[in-house]
Amino acid sequence: MGLCIYLNGEFITDKKLAVTSIYDHGFLYGDGIFEGIRVYNGRIFMFEEHMKRLYDSAKSLALTIPMSIEELSEITMETVRRTGYRDAYIRLVVSRGEGDLGLDPRKCGRPSIYIIADSIQLYPKEKYDVGLTIVTCSTRRNSPDVLCPQVKSLNYLNNILAKIEVNRAGADEGLMLNPRGYVCEATADNIFTIKNGTMFTPPPFVGVLLGITRQCVLDIAEKFGIKVIERNMVVHDVYVADEVFLTGSAAELIPVINVDDRIIGDGKPGPVFKKLLAEFREMTKHRGAPVYD
């Protein structure tokens, strides 16, 4: 029991043996897609949503995943089952496959499927208690008319460039804007603000990935009767918010207490955030597709 990797038909438990062709266009051109999925308490959280998003990303790239969503879901299940882990992180990658040194995807035979089921690297607990310091990055988020952010592609270069800025600034995370300067999201997380009890988050068309955790938060807010407005925001709106937090499959809900040296609220994770996080954690305990009998 331990890490398990599915690689084009084989289950591999030794990381060193999980190797692929350097002619894979996923490697040569970032031509492929991925999902990052959590397993909580023996259940794959929001599994159907992640699988649907994967197949939508594939469709957008005219990449035909060589099996049905049901088959790939079952193989993903089996990969997790073989780890024996009750809490895990799944990285599901589909690339265009092995081709030649030209761009032409027709030269690639069959798309490659890689599933990594590994133990989860949690964010340090104190980050949830103390909150993150973030900075606005000069690297802009992809424009939807260039590469739609709904496609969770293997090309994350803008986000990586933003992360390099974050590291240079000694911050925890970065705020990415769209080419017009509207707030989009962090480098791999969506953003929410709270002002006078109302919750705000950037709308889809501004150029954000419609995160699955983002949708969970919208659902929880509805359940609690919290008013939510999806609208364009500028950095000023973030600076003057009462609360700011990020959401993502890996980060879950994580508070932000400093943005470009502006202290958010009283500099501590706020009450709305705490309430939402508690409900989210509750949700992860019993929701999801069971891996084990």
For residue 185, the minimal CB distance to ligand PXG (Å) is 5
Residue 209 contacts ligand PXG per CB under 6 A? yes
192, β-bridge pairs: 245
Site for ligand PXG (CB under 6 A): how many residues? Answer: 14
**Secondary structure letter of residue 190 according to DSSP:** E
Per CB under 6 A, which region of 93-101, 107-115, 187-195, 284-292 contacts ligand PXG?
187-195
State which amino acid sits at residue 153: S
Q: Which residues contact 261 (CB under 8 A, 6 or more apart)?
A: none
Q: Which residue has the tokens 């989009």?
A: 184
Closer CB to ligand PXG, residue 37 or residue 72? 37
Is residue 66 near ligand PXG by the rule CB under 6 A?
no
Q: How many CB atoms lie within 10 A of CB 74?
A: 12
Q: According to CB under 6 A, which one of 83, 178, 201, 213 is a site residue for ligand PXG? A: 213
Cα–Cα distance measured from residue 167 to residue 169, given in angstroms and rounded to the nearest whole number: 5
| Nearest-angstrom CA–CA distance, 119 and 38 | 10
Among 136, 139, 249, 284, binds ligand PXG (CB under 6 A): 249
Q: How far apart are CA 250 and CA 215, in angstroms?
A: 15
- Catalytic residue selected from 52, 152, 163, 274: 152
The stretch among 15-23, 73-81, 123-131, 184-192 that binds ligand PXG (CB under 6 A) is 184-192
Tokens of 289: 């597709």
Quick check: 190 binds ligand PXG (CB under 6 A)?
Answer: yes
Q: Tell whether residue 248 is a contact of ligand PXG (CB under 6 A).
A: yes
Q: Is 193 in the site for ligand PXG (CB under 6 A)?
A: no
Neighbours of 192 (CB within 10 A): 25
Contact residues toward ligand PXG (CB under 6 A) are 36, 185, 188-190, 209, 211-214, 247-250
Q: Where in the sequence numbering do the catalytic residues fall?
A: 152
